[in-house]
Each structure stands twice: as structure tokens, then as C-alpha cells.
Amino acid sequence: MMHRLIQGIHPLASEEWEAFAAGFVPFEARRKQVLTAAGDIERNLYFVLSGVQRSYFLSPTDKEATIVFTYAGSFSGVADSFLTQRPSRFYFETLTASSFLRTTYTHVAATMDRYPNFERFVRIITAHTLAGVLQRQVEVQCYSAEEKFKSLLQRSPHVLRLIPHKYLANYLGLDATTFSKLLGTVRL
């Protein structure tokens, strides 16, 4: 699954893929387990095999802002902390019991140093991630509640079955009542 995802983004030679894949080990986490806390440096890159996770910000007044969800077939972790090796501002937790393949920053950095084409893959996937973050910023600041909801359904309709609605409402910046109303009225 991970190999197919990578090859679809930017093909790697067999040697590059094998060097990258060799650094991954299986890892399991229980439901509601914080894998990275604010203030920690993200040392791991995860590839999700099963389960649902989220990254979120917690304000000084304990208000949560869900930043991103991950699930089977995606890379996961606190991306900015991982790439910069600086303390995270975010928490990364499992919403359900989850299984991963996991590798370290040290392994990814060594693979980038050894294989310029692999480093190019990392740059390309980082650029795609940045483009998504910028689009999401526009949605948060400019879209109405209904437009945010429709955009989510167009981009990822499957999340309604995967992710508890209270987290989806938080991700969209909506209260639970508004989210519930939209759930019952908005059709694509």
C-alpha cells in the first residue's frame, strides 16, 4: 500500500524504495493514545495501516482545534516538527486503535542524503501538503458553514463513516448543532 502511494506521487527506483522501506517497523497504538504531545519533537514518521488519528492544537484556555485527520493509506505524525526537528505545537493522537509502519527521522534524513531522487519525493509530497494546508486556510477564513461542509464531503465523503462527528465539527470550526443540521440537510 505504501509503495503504491509513493509510486503514484513520484516513482522511486527499486534501490531507493528498498532503502526507505527497510527503516519501517510495525507499531500498534490503543484508542485515544497521544503519540506526540505539544512540546515534544516528532521523531517518527508513520504510515497508517488501520485506524484513525488526528493532530490538534490546544489553546491556553483548553480550546481544541483539529488540524488534520489521517487513516489507512496515509503518512502521519506532526509533519512540521518532523521535518524541522523542532518542538511540536500540536498533539498527535489516535482516535481508534491503530496499526502503523513507523520509521525515524534519522532514517528518513539518511535516505534523503543518500538518494537525491528520494529527497525530491519528500519535497514533492511536502509541496502537496502545503497546497492542501493553504486551501484549507481559505476554507476556514472565507467559507460559510455550509460551504465548509460541502467541501469536506466533496474531498473526503468517507470521513463521515470513519470519524466521530464531534471531531469533524471541530475540524470545520462548527458547533455540534450546526454540524448536525448540515448533516441532515446538505446533499451533494
pLDDT at 187: 74
Check residue 51 and give left, alpha or beta (phi > 0: left; psi -120 to 50: alpha).
Answer: left
Cβ 31 vs Cβ 95: under 8 Å = yes
Q: Quote the pTM value.
A: 0.92
Please state the φ and ψ torsions of residue 58, each to the nearest 5 degrees. Answer: -120, 115
pLDDT tens-place string over residues 56-88 = 999 999 999 999 999 999 999 999 999 999 999
pLDDT tens-place string over residues 12-25 = 999 999 999 999 99
C-alpha–C-alpha distance, residues 80 and 127, integer Å: 12
pLDDT tens-place string over residues 109-160 = 999 999 999 999 999 999 999 999 999 999 999 999 999 999 999 989 889 9
- Topology of domain 2-129 in CATH is Jelly Rolls (2.60.120)
pLDDT at 184: 85
Cα torsion 152, 156, 157, 163: sign: negative
